Amino acid sequence: MTDTDETKRKRSDAARKGAATKGPEGRRAASLKAAATKGPEVVRQAARKAAASRDPEAHREAIRKAAAARSPERRREVALKALANRDPEAHREAIRKALAARSPEARQATIRKRAETRRRNREAAKGEAPG
């Protein structure tokens, strides 16, 4: 074991022992302090590790909560930023690849849904009741 590995192990053991003696508030304060001293890349890596160990339903719930907490202005801002950073040709190519990778059944389902939508729109334009 190298010197840095030994140091890391001792530090993690000490943190574990300290966390065991603290209550929930103390643990939260310690984790916030630790997050403040780490760089953004280390925090991202820890988040990825946590997401990998979380079950899919908990992950979906966390995403729902995060989306609900975002204001409409912030959502629009994020969407515009993503759009600005997108290479249009690469995006078109990705769409072509995704469509080519679909199964024949999925393609047929899409065709059927489009036809149903067109029929409903025609009926709505004529003023007929759907069904």
| Whether 65 and 93 share a structural domain | yes
pLDDT in tens, the chain (131 residues): 567 788 888 888 887 777 667 777 887 887 788 777 888 888 888 888 887 888 888 888 988 898 888 898 998 998 899 888 999 999 999 999 998 999 999 999 999 999 999 999 999 998 865 55
| Whether 63 and 93 share a structural domain | yes
How many residues appear in the chain? 131
| Whether 64 and 88 share a structural domain | yes
Residue 91 lies in a domain: yes
| Whether 88 and 114 share a structural domain | no
- What's the Cα-to-Cα distance from 48 to each of 16, 62, 84, 97, 110, rounded to whole Å? 21, 13, 25, 27, 34
Domain that holds residue 85: 59-97
Nearest 5°: the CA angle 40, 45, 49 is 145
- Count the domains in the chain: 2
| Residue 130 pLDDT | 58
pTM score: 0.32
Region for residue 104 given its phi and psi (left: phi exceeds 0; alpha: psi -120 to 50; beta: otherwise): alpha
| Residue 46 pLDDT | 82
| Residue 122 pLDDT | 93
| Residue 118 pLDDT | 96
Across 34-72, b (16+ Cβ under 10 Å) vs e yields: eeeeeeeeeeeeeeeeeeeeeeeeeeeeeeeeeeeeeee
| Whether 85 and 65 share a structural domain | yes
Residue 123 lies in a domain: yes
Phi then psi dihedrals of residue 75, to 5 deg: -60, -45
Residue 65 lies in a domain: yes
Phi then psi dihedrals of residue 85, to 5 deg: -85, -5
Instruction: Compute the distance between CA of residue 42 and CA of residue 45 in angstroms, rounded to an integer.
Output: 5
| Whether 85 and 107 share a structural domain | no
| Whether 115 and 88 share a structural domain | no
Residue 10 lies in a domain: no
